[in-house]
């Protein structure tokens, strides 16, 4: 029995060492963190049950990995440790109880609480206020000297005012979500390897031998603690130390708070969790630290982590599961989307059974096949997706588990049997049957009725499918046809009580006279989303004006380029679409407005300069909007500049604007000025 345990312990240690190397040294993990954490917890449990088998070199006793030889080594005067994890409320309760027992404290303890940033730990050394060296955590005792790379990060101050003779600041280097996506999109377009997540991208970017590469990647930084400090009396609490670092101009996280007792911790956890998806950076939990430094000191450390702090983790957003089948779904515009049917898995806080595979090229690139073990990701409200497969877990071709063939898109539509085409330069394959394809018909009606479009309450997916399958309706215009939609007809549907039938009829009635923007969106023109629909409605005022516009006229609208213009022209050129629109006109489905042509914009004569990354608008979109309102966008700030629009990580233009006293706007203020809010 014990030799069995010994074997498992040895195996776990080998596996964990392997994953540590992939993760900490190569910045290229093979398995999701949740899987790694399971292995580590299993090992911890076995070592706890068999203390005689615990060894000082076990991965449970150590932090990170030894520094890369390519960098000079930096010894940490105060070790840089890890954090113990709490995965449940009970874990948090136990942590608080241990802390109170350790301190002999009866009442509620005071905690400093912060997000757990998903980046990598670094330490920054300042001598007489001058940045002299910076290093990674490494194995906790010795890290890598990455000073040159750290100097390229704008958020890190290189010179401090009123600093003590010696100060070590600890914190996290991270990559914002949008910068990560941009980096991976670039890598993909060049056929290079993508990073698994922002954390690995940040680590990979910081641990570059050529700091010009680091400078091209956008990294940022948050301070969350200090190391060795000389020549200054520290305030008594962590919270006040952070405030002090903030005054020294270190970026400190605005989400940090001071709370009391377990209730305070759990309340913060829920509050931060609700914000998680909206934060511009990834977090994987909340960190709770005893606020009083004297109490921290009294509790001290265990092997690899402090006793006075803990990381409370949110449910993992990436998990492992198995692909049971790959189906193909047909969408509103006829696009065929491969969908992985998964062995149910709990990820991102819900049980997931399907994940999108996007398109044929993606399935090929990732080489996803039935039977594969895959990493699924579900973050926030985003549709779950298959991130990658684990090639080493692919079933081998043998008598028991036949190896499945690579995925191929069907050549005929799975819904209607019409031929499938893939247009030159487009990733998507499409059914060629247009609205004769029942799947497209259903999707078109579902889209028409959706909340952001005509907003017909109670007309959900299942109901539309039934109504189309039973031949009640074929197009959105049929919804307003009393010969097709009435109490008698609706009563023929399954699970349709008289009450819900009359509610539905009332909801359809109430959907008439929609404003033009919603109606344009409801039409489901390819490449015309909510914002474009609004822009078109504002620009043309009436549907007839839009239908009569040629490509040049369409392209006067902000953000409408040749592709969108072509989609609009193609849609209105289709006789079937025109017929449906005429019936919708007769039903008074929409209401025209007044055109607001662009030429005499209210911002005529105003000059704008853009700097930094805006939360929602791309730079091109912001420029298009300003120009549509008659304004001009210039490249540099001067006395002639009227407004500087600043986003995250603004550059020298921001400072220049401050110097010249130019009005600085954020995105919301810009939209307000444009009259869009
Ligand atoms: N997928 C894999 O193969 C693999 C391999 C190794 C490690 N991992 C993952 O790495 C993590 C373990 O690594 P770890 O030892 O660095 O521990 P950790 O990341 O769980 O916790 C310690 C770290 O938290 C960071 N941190 C973030 N915000 C902080 C804050 N406000 N205050 C203090 N510290 C803060 C610091 O960088 C610190 O070093 C786990 O999530 C594990 O799943 C994954
Ligand atoms: Zn079809």
Check pLDDT > 80 for residue 600.
no
State how far the Cα of 206 lies from the Cα of 635, in Å rounded to an integer.
Answer: 29
Please state the rounded mean pLDDT for residues 215-229. 95
Write the burial class of residue 417 (CB in 10 Å: 0-12 exposed, 13-18 middle, 19+ buried). exposed
Please report where in the chains the tokens 């889209």 appear, as a residue.
447
Q: Which two tokens stand for residue 506?
A: 């009332």
**285 closest CA partner among 304, 308, 266:** 266
Pick the CATH number of 434-511 from 3.30.70.360, 1.10.150.20, 3.40.1020.10, 2.40.110.10: 1.10.150.20
DSSP 25: I
Helix, strand or coil for residue 396?
coil
Residue 365 assigned to a binding site: no
pLDDT value of position 398? 52
Query: Tokens for 468?
Result: 């189309």
Position 90 confidence tier, pLDDT thresholds 50, 70, 90:
very high
Query: Above 60 in pLDDT, residue 94?
Result: yes
Query: Would you identify the CATH topology of the domain 515-591?
Result: DNA polymerase; domain 1 (1.10.150)
pLDDT one-digit tens code per residue, 347-406: 988 999 999 999 988 898 899 999 999 999 998 878 999 999 998 888 775 555 556 788
Residues with Cβ within 8 Å of 419's Cβ and at least 6 positions away in sequence, in order, are 411, 412, 413, 432
DSSP assignment string, 58-120: SGGG--S-PPPTTS-EEE-SS------EE-SHHHHHHHHHHHHHHHT--SPPEEEEEEEESSE
CB neighbourhood size of 163 (10 A): 20
Of 561, 658, 674, 673, residue with least CA distance to 611: 658
Measure the CA–CA gap between 376 and 308, rounded to whole angstroms.
34
Question: Average pLDDT, whole number, for the chain?
Answer: 92
To the question of whether residue 181 is assigned a binding role by annotation, the answer is no
116 a catalytic residue: yes
What percent of the chain has a predicted confidence (pLDDT) above 90? 70
Q: Say whether 315-432 and 73-313 share the same fold.
A: no
**Under 8 Å between Cβ of 309 and 81:** no
Q: Given 3.40.50.150, 1.10.287.610, 1.10.3720.10, 2.60.40.3500, which CATH number is that of 2-61? A: 1.10.287.610
Q: Strand locations in 331-368, DSSP E? A: 335-347, 350-356
Phi and psi at 365, nearest 5°, equal -60, -45
Percent of the chain that is helix, strand, coil (3-state, to 5):
40, 20, 40
Instruction: ipTM value, please give it.
Output: 0.97
The predicted structure's pLDDT at residue 599? 54
User: Which are the contacts of 334, defined by CB distance < 8 A and separation ≥ 6?
Assistant: 413, 430, 431, 432, 433, 434, 437, 440
Residues 637 and 527: their CA atoms lie apart, in Å, by 35
| Beta-strand runs (E) in 309-408 | 309-313, 318-330, 335-347, 350-356, 373-377, 385-389
Distance 419 CA to ligand 2 centre (A): 8
Looking at domain 315-432, its CATH superfamily turns out to be Nucleic acid-binding proteins (2.40.50.140)
Pick the closest to residue 456 from 257, 589, 345 (CA basis): 589
Best residue among 36, 375, 387 to mutate for probing ligand 1, ranked by most atoms within 8 Å of CB:
36
Catalytic residue among 69, 116, 278, 640: 116
pTM: 0.76
Q: Which residues' Cβ are closer than 6 Å to ligand 1?
A: 19-20, 22-23, 29, 31, 33, 36-37, 63, 82-83, 114, 116-117, 120-121, 137, 172, 224, 287, 311
Q: What pLDDT was estimated at residue 677?
A: 60
pLDDT digits (tens, 9 = 90+) for 42-53: 999 999 999 999
Q: What's the CATH number for 607-673?
A: 3.40.50.10190
The residue ranges of every structural domain in the chain are: 2-61, 73-313, 315-432, 434-511, 515-591, 607-673
Q: 207 C-alpha vs ligand 1 centroid, how far in Å?
A: 17
Query: Was 534 annotated as part of a binding site?
Result: no
Q: For ligand 1, atom 6, which residue shows the shortest CA distance?
A: 20
Query: For the sheet containing 257-260, what is the strand order?
Result: 85-86, 309-313, 283-290, 110-117, 257-260
- What does CATH list as the number for 73-313? 3.30.470.30
């Amino acid at each position: 029995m014990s030799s069995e345990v010994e074997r498992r312990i040895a195996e776990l240690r080998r596996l964990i060492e392997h994953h540590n190397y992939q993760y900490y040294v190569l910045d290229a993990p093979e398995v999701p963190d949740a899987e790694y954490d399971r292995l580590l917890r299993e090992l911890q449990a076995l070592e706890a049950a068999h203390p005689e088998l615990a060894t000082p070199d076990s991965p449970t006793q150590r932090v990170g990995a030894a520094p890369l030889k390519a960098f000079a080594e930096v010894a940490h005067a105060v070790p840089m440790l890890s954090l113990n994890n709490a995965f449940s409320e009970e874990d948090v309760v136990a942590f608080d109880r241990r802390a109170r027992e350790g301190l002999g404290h009866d009442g509620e303890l005071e905690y400093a609480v912060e997000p757990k940033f998903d980046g990598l730990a670094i330490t920054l050394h300042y001598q007489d206020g001058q940045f002299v060296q910076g290093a990674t955590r490494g194995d906790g005792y010795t890290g890598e000297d990455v000073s040159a790379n750290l100097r390229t990060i704008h958020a890190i101050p290189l010179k401090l005012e009123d600093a003590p003779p010696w100060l070590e600041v600890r914190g996290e280097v991270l990559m914002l979500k949008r910068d990560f996506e941009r980096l991976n999109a670039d890598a993909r377009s060049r056929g290079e390897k993508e990073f698994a997540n922002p954390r690995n991208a940040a680590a990979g970017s910081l641990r570059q031998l050529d700091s010009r590469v680091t400078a091209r990647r956008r990294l940022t930084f948050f301070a969350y603690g200090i190391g060795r400090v000389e020549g200054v009396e520290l305030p008594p609490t962590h919270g006040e130390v952070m405030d002090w670092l903030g005054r020294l101009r270190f970026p400190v996280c605005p989400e940090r708070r001071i709370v009391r007792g377990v209730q305070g911790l759990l309340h913060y956890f829920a509050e931060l969790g609700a914000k998680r998806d909206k934060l511009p950076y990834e977090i994987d939990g909340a960190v709770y630290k005893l606020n009083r430094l004297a109490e921290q000191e009294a509790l001290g450390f265990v092997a690899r982590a402090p006793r006075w702090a803990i990381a409370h983790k949110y449910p993992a957003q990436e998990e492992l599961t198995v692909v049971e089948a790959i189906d193909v779904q047909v969408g509103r515009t006829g696009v065929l989307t491969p969908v992985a049917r998964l062995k149910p898995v709990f990820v991102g806080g819900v049980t997931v059974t399907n994940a999108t595979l996007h398109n044929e090229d993606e399935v090929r690139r990732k080489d996803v096949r039935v039977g594969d073990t895959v990493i699924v990701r579900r973050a926030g409200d985003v549709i779950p997706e298959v991130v990658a497969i684990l090639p080493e877990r692919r079933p081998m071709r043998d008598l028991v588990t036949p190896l499945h063939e690579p995925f191929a898109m069907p050549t005929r539509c799975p819904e209607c049997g019409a031929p499938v085409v893939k247009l030159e330069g487009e990733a998507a394959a499409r059914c060629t049957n247009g609205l004769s394809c029942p799947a497209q018909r259903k999707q078109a009606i579902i889209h028409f009725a959706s909340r952001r479009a005509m907003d017909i309450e109670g007309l959900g997916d299942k109901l539309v499918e039934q109504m189309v399958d039973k031949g009640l309706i074929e197009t959105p215009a049929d919804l307003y046809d009393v010969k097709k939609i009435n109490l008698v007809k609706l009563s023929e549907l399954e699970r349709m009580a008289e009450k819900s039938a009359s509610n539905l009829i009332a909801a359809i009635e109430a959907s008439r006279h929609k404003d033009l923007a919603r109606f344009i969106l409801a039409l489901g023109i390819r490449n015309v989303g909510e914002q474009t629909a609004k822009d078109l409605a504002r620009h043309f005022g009436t549907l007839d004006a839009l239908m009569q516009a040629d490509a040049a006229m369409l392209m006067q609208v902000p953000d409408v380029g040749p592709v969108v213009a072509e989609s609009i022209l193609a849609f209105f050129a289709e006789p079937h679409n025109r017929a449906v629109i005429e019936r919708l006109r007769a039903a008074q489905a929409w209401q025209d407005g007044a055109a607001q042509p662009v030429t005499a914009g209210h911002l005529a004569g105003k000059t704008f300069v853009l700097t930094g990354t805006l939360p929602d608008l791309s730079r091109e979109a912001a420029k298009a909007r300003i120009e549509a309102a008659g304004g001009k966008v210039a490249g540099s700030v001067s006395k002639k500049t009227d407004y500087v629009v600043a986003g995250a990580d603004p550059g020298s233009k921001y400072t220049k604007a401050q110097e010249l006293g130019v009005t600085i706007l954020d995105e919301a203020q810009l939209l307000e000025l444009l009259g869009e809010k």
